[in-house]
Amino acid sequence: MVEEVTEPRRRAGRLASSGAIRDAAATLFLEKGYQGTSMDDIAAAAQVSKQTIYTHFANKQELFADLVLGNADRVEGFIAGLSVGPDVEEGLVKIARDYVRFVSRPDVIRLRRLVIAEAGRFPELARAYYERVPMRVIAAFARLFTVLTHDGQLHVEDANTAAEHFVWLALGVPLDRGMFISPTQHDDLNHIADSAVRVFLSAYR
């Protein structure tokens, strides 16, 4: 009976420690970069032993990859909510606003900076991030525009190109501004998203 109670507690403890480790690593990698962060730093921030970290991650590189590719889970949530109702402009405005707010968040911007900074050291990880995050979003938009064309709400001949146009009309300015200067304010994001949809529809409706 004691063993039956103890094992679930141990599993719960391992799950809790892995969450604390991920949170601490995310904060430190984003603040200090890969080279500037040690496993000792992460252990101290997570309030666990370094040996506990190694029960979850083989090394610092594996932990870094877990952080970077974990952003793909957020993308899945965004993609799952993509839909447009009977008013295609209203639907696309909502999608564009949600998208620019999602990508312009300070933590997402910092993660992009970090991936770019470490792309020379970890080119395969950078490629995996690109394929699982930006490319998945474009593919999801392409599927949506194909459906809308089939339904007669859009006129799109090359869905992938249309998706790229939509992404960069909405995201180009706030992404560059966030990467190099500071995040764009909420009202400005809405204005950019709304304008992007109007331009997009002038070409594809």
Instruction: Domain count for the chain, please give it.
Output: 2
Q: What is the pLDDT of residue 6?
A: 44
Q: Are residues 70 and 42 in the same domain?
A: no
- CA dihedral angle for residue 109, residue 67, residue 127, residue 72, rounded to 10 degrees: -80
pLDDT of res. 2: 45
Please tell me whether residues 85 and 181 are part of one structural domain.
yes
End-to-end CA distance of the chain: 67
Q: Rounded distance, CA 131 to CA 123, Å?
A: 12
Structure tokens at 131: 């394929």
pLDDT of 111: 87
Domain encompassing residue 36: 1-57
pLDDT at 106: 87
Residue 122's pLDDT is what?
94
Q: What is the CATH number of the domain that holds 171?
A: 1.10.357.10
Query: Do 113 and 180 lie in a common domain?
Result: yes
* 110 in the same domain as 89: yes
Query: What does each of the 205 residues of the chain score in pLDDT, given as a tens digit?
Result: 445 444 443 443 444 478 899 989 988 998 898 999 999 999 999 999 999 999 999 999 999 999 888 877 788 888 988 989 899 999 999 999 999 998 988 888 888 888 998 999 999 999 999 999 999 999 999 999 999 999 999 999 999 999 999 999 999 999 999 999 888 888 899 999 999 999 999 999 9
What global pTM score does this model have? 0.82
Question: What is the secondary structure of 125-191 as a DSSP string?
Answer: HHHHHHHHTHHHHHHHHHHHHHHHHHTTS---S-HHHHHHHHHHHHHHHHHHHHHHT-PPPHHHHHH
Residues 16 and 70 in one domain: no
Residues 14, 66, single domain; the answer is no
In a shared domain, residues 74 and 155: yes
Among residues 156, 128, 123, 126, the alpha carbon closest in space to that of 142 is found at 156
The pairs formed by 108-112 with CB atoms below 8 angstroms and a separation of 24 or more are 108/71, 109/175, 109/178, 109/179, 109/183, 110/30, 111/30, 111/67, 111/68, 111/71, 112/179
* DSSP tag of 42: H
Residue 60: what residue type?
A: K
